[in-house]
Amino acid sequence: EPEVTQTPSHQVTQMGQEVILRCVPISNHLYFYWYRQILGQKVEFLVSFYNNEISEKSEIFDDQFSVERPDGSNFTLKIRSTKLEDSAMYFCASTKEIGYGYTFGSGTRLTVV
Amino acid sequence: GIQVEQSPPDLILQEGANSTLRCNFSDSVNNLQWFHQNPWGQLINLFYIPSGTKQNGRLSATTVATERYSLLYISSSQTTDSGVYFCAVETLINDYKLSFGAGTTVTVRA
């Protein structure tokens, strides 16, 4: 079964540093997403991406965050200057079309120290 | 936005017991998924079930879209069923993303 692949699985970074989280969505999927889950809390929507541009973003997705699809396969989330409160599990997801099932990656656990 | 409420918040089971988890949602949906979050934090998709009933081994799910709820049944629970179960929905109008409930934490004791 096709998978969404995320790397790295775990990243530790110092406060103020930039991090890039990487995702390879399923090849024939057209809609891409990033979600965040702070430890012990529910999974929150960050941003959706379609046709090479952001479709929607949440209040969490401020100027410190950006997304990019640099080539035909990768989808990245960049945090420019990390804060302690950015520590969370970040999930990438993709879907073929709206109303179709979403496939989630295994997540990247980001720890900011 | 849509409200997704899951109950109960916590559930403790003895191995072998059956259980039902509930998800209520506040608007019409075109997608509903159940996930199991394992101890490593991974979200495992259990069912894509915007309506009807599906079964997969000891797990089954039913969504009654007209009444805005879904149920996840775990039968003959095993310790490996422990974890957090999330319901997530996508609405019909201008909401092209999944919105998650707060989850039900299931602990199965041997």
At B68-103, the pLDDT tens digits run: 999 999 999 999 999 999 999 998 776 788 999 999
- What are the φ and ψ backbone dihedral angles of B25, each rounded to 5 degrees? -135, 155
Whose structure tokens read 């990247």? A108
A102 inside 8 A of chain B by CB: yes
> For chain A, where are the E strands, in sequence order?
5-7, 10-13, 19-24, 31-37, 44-50, 53-57, 65-68, 75-79, 88-95, 103-104, 108-112
User: Are A89 and B45 an interchain contact pair (Cβ–Cβ within 8 Å)?
Assistant: no
- Return the pLDDT at A98: 80
Distance CA B30, CA B35 (A): 17
B37-75: pLDDT as tens digits:
998 899 999 999 999 999 999 999 999 999 999 999 999
A43-81: pLDDT as tens digits:
999 999 999 999 999 999 999 999 999 887 899 999 999
User: Are B97 and A100 an interchain contact pair (Cβ–Cβ within 8 Å)?
Assistant: no
Distance from CA of B10 to the nearest CA of A (A): 13
Nearest to A22 by CA among A87, A58, A67: A67
Q: Which of B45, B90, B102 sits opposite A103 (nearest CB)?
A: B45
Residue B2 has pLDDT above 90, yes or no: no
